[in-house]
Amino acid sequence: MLRQGKLYKRKRPNRYLKIRRVPRTTLIVGAKCKDGVVLVGDRKVNTDFGVSYIEKIRRCPEISWAVFGAAGVGTLFEEFLEVLPQKVSYHYNWIQYQSDRIRYQHTQEFGENRFAPRPPEMAYSFADFKHDCVELLKEMRNAYSIAHTEEGCTLQILMGIRERESKLFYLDSIYCLPAEVTKIVFIGQSELGEVFRKSWDDGMTMAETAKLATFAIRYIEKEGISDGIGVGEYQPQVWFIPNDGDPREILGDKLSTLLADVEPEVEAIRQKLHSLFRF
């Protein structure tokens, strides 16, 4: 039988998934702080072609109120960001069409009768946006159902949103269920972030949390705890979604100033810990 042939393998991994994924060793930190939501991410990606440093926190074209950080298969994240604006636009236009149709029908039936009941108002809402994100993940999971049988073929997403105030949500391609995050969360190689969680509390600001997250990323990188987490010669990505403003990435001199004291603190802690074991 064919099953007994030398070329038969019950499970043959897809080598392209291996080299194209954003490794689970990624570390993205998201937190709901007293003044807004912050997302901080490392940049390192290891592939069969070598090491590169990329943006793992991105904003969709035409969707200015949301920022996404991802860990998992990179091609899935790229497709998610590319297709989501189309899905949102279609849903928004469909709601507008239905609303116009209802108003037209109301005018036809009641004319200028001021005692007639008002037609129901329809508008694209934040709940609709969350549903669009979920539906897109479900569609992608169905479209690539064979690939999803591969171990590690998943996509984890942290989504910072500016509504009445900033909010943070976690969703993934396994359960496709958005869960609101009211404290701090780590995705990717999340277990490495747990020791730093104890240094955080919900009274901290976005800036303070960004420093803590950067400390975690740099400490893990400097100590070689994971060869998939780091920033190399770059700075980590830092995004603020303030309660009273639009999402913005902290860049250039502002980022350098914000994180200026992190590197000395990392070195001081490393030297102190190492000195404990010198006799």
Q: Is the pLDDT of residue 12 over 90?
A: no
What is the fold of 12-87+129-275? Glutamine Phosphoribosylpyrophosphate, subunit 1, domain 1 (3.60.20)
* Each residue's pLDDT tens digit, 104-115: 888 888 888 888
* Each residue's pLDDT tens digit, 261-276: 999 999 999 998 888 7
Q: Where are the domains of the chain?
A: 12-87+129-275
Q: What is the mean pLDDT of residues 204-220?
A: 98
Task: Extract the tokens encoding 207.
Answer: 């800036």
pLDDT at 276: 73
pTM of the model: 0.86
* Each residue's pLDDT tens digit, 127-172: 999 999 999 999 999 999 888 787 778 899 999 999 889 999 999 9
Grade residue 7 by pLDDT with cuts at 50, 70 and 90: very low
pLDDT at 35: 96
pLDDT at 20: 46
Residues whose CB falls within 8 Å of the CB of residue 105, separated by 6 or more in sequence, listed in order = 119
* Each residue's pLDDT tens digit, 118-135: 888 889 999 999 999 999
**Ordered DSSP codes for 175-237:** T---EEESSEEEEESGGGGHHHHTT--TT--HHHHHHHHHHHHHHHHHTTS-TT---TTSPPE
CA neighbor of 71 nearest in space, from 157, 197, 174, 150 = 157
pLDDT-above-70 percentage for the chain: 90
Residue 39's DSSP bridge partners are 30, 239
- C-alpha–C-alpha distance, residues 192 and 214, integer Å: 13
Grade residue 277 by pLDDT with cuts at 50, 70 and 90: low
Cβ distance 26 to 53 under 8 Å?
no
